[in-house]
């Protein structure tokens, strides 16, 4: 199956193009019609997830809360209504579970285990990347240069190998 995200990562290695629009044009030009169709489906799913999340959040803010009965003399306050709206919006948040995307309200134990493992792995990768970036900054300062590409070739090669690990 064609993986547009893997293709984008491959193209990152072969082009210095920084403009996302131009990069996308190069990407599309390099695809067959069948690959374009598969890529569209993959990208559309990502975009739909983003729009659904934003739209449901926006709609949750716009919805008027259902009339609250006054029980035993208790008056429902604006803070109560806001708390209930926030709670309902959070329960409708879409997240990746063990097997598929789900609303948080439908998460099971397996979904929470999977989501926690996925986030820990992502966090560990982010920490490694941050440490590498710190070492690059130190190397720039020690070499007295302002751009990464200006580092001496031997140091640049070592740092690039470290980034790939």
Domain ranges of the chain: 1-66, 107-165
Please tell me which residue, 66 or 141, carries the higher pLDDT value.
Answer: 141
pTM for the model stands at 0.48
- pLDDT (0 to 100) of residue 101: 85
- pLDDT (0 to 100) of residue 133: 95
Q: Across-strand partners of 101?
A: 96
DSSP 3-state of 95: strand
Q: Are strands 94-96 and 101-103 parallel, antiparallel or unpaired?
A: antiparallel
Tokens of 92: 């409708």
Is pLDDT of 42 > 80? yes
Is pLDDT of 145 > 90? yes
Q: Encode pLDDT of 68-123 as tens digits.
A: 555 555 666 778 788 888 888 888 888 889 988 888 999 999 999 999 999 999 99
Confidence band for 18, pLDDT divided at 50, 70 and 90:
confident
């Amino acid at each position: 199956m064609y993986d547009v995200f893997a293709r984008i990562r491959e193209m990152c290695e072969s082009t210095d193009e920084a403009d996302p629009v131009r990069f996308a044009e190069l990407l599309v030009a390099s695809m067959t019609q069948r690959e374009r169709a598969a890529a569209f489906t993959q990208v559309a799913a990502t975009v739909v997830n983003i729009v659904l999340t934003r739209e449901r959040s926006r709609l949750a803010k716009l919805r008027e809360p259902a009339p609250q009965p006054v029980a035993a003399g208790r008056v429902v306050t604006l803070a109560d209504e806001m708390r209930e709206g926030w709670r309902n919006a959070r329960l409708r948040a879409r997240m990746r579970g063990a097997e598929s995307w789900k609303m948080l309200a439908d998460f099971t134990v397996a979904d929470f285990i999977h989501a926690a493992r996925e986030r820990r792995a992502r966090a560990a990768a982010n920490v490694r990347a941050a440490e590498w970036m710190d070492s690059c900054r130190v190397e720039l300062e020690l070499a007295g240069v302002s751009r990464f590409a200006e580092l001496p070739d031997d140091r640049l090669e070592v740092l690039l190998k470290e980034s790939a690990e």
